[in-house]
């Protein structure tokens, strides 16, 4: 069974062209959305994906209707393929029922993995560069080095209560103990 999915980004646009093409392609059931493809929560797409069964083909006007980014597209296609649902794009003439269509998506999958690795590499290089310049990530310290030394000295005195230290330095108990370990 062919299941269709159509999407336009705004209410000013019309979905008729896509729906007509999907009907002509033999779609028995058509789902649609009127919202940006950047949104991950698209009810029409979710319904189409849930409706499609193993052996069905999800037909779209163009691949960009399924996802705004390559990552979104690959995730959607992988999810459908794992359930035995094929993908067909009318404008790009891609059909995962064919060897060429399968090859196309394998290439896209490899590109997505490559892109993810490049981003991870850049992130790690940026963090290493920041550390080399004396910067460290995370939330800024609540107390200065001098305040931490003062806190440790006051904590050693058995006459000082933990509650008083918390009030004096305006910190919570876990923060106090983290500073004492430093």
The DSSP 8-state label assigned to residue 155 in this structure reads H
The one catalytic residue among 9, 82, 129, 141 = 9
Tally the residues of the chain: 182
Q: Where are the domains of the chain?
A: 2-110, 145-181
Query: Is 9 an active-site residue?
Result: yes
8-44 confidence digits (pLDDT tens): 887 778 889 999 999 999 999 999 988 765 666 788 8
Residues sharing a CB contact under 8 Å with residue 80, sequence separation 6 or more, in sequence order:
49, 52, 58, 86, 87
pTM of the model: 0.58
Q: Tokens at residue 154, please?
A: 């006051």
- Of 68, 73, 69, 114, residue with least CA distance to 96: 73
Q: Is 13 helix (H, G, I), strand (E, B) or coil?
A: coil
Q: What is the pLDDT of residue 40?
A: 64
- Between CA 60 and CA 55 the distance in angstroms is 16
CATH topology of domain 2-110: Rossmann fold (3.40.50)
Per-residue pLDDT of the chain (182 residues; tens, 9 = 90+): 999 999 888 777 888 999 999 999 999 999 998 876 566 678 888 899 899 999 999 999 888 888 777 777 878 888 888 889 999 989 888 888 888 888 877 787 677 678 778 888 999 999 889 889 888 788 888 899 999 999 999 999 999 999 999 999 999 999 999 999 98
Q: What is the pLDDT of residue 22?
A: 94
């Amino acid at each position: 069974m062919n299941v269709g999915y159509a999407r336009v980004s705004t209410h000013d646009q019309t979905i008729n062209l896509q729906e007509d093409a999907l009907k002509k392609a033999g779609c028995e059931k058509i789902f649609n959305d009127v919202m940006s493809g950047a949104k991950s929560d698209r009810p029409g797409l979710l319904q189409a994906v849930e409706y499609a069964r193993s052996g069905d083909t999800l037909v779209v006007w163009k691949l960009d209707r399924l996802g705004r980014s390559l990552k979104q597209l690959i995730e959607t296609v992988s999810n459908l393929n794992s359930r035995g649902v094929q993908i067909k794009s009318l404008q790009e003439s891609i059909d995962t029922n064919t060897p060429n269509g399968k090859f196309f998506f394998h290439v896209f999958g490899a590109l997505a993995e490559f892109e993810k690795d490049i981003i991870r590499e850049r992130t790690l290089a940026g963090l290493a560069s920041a550390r080399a310049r004396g910067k460290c990530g995370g939330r800024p310290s609540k107390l200065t080095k001098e305040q931490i030394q003062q806190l440790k000295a006051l904590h050693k005195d058995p006459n000082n209560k933990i509650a008083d230290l918390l009030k004096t330095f305006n910190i919570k108990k876990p923060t106090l103990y983290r500073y004492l370990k430093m």
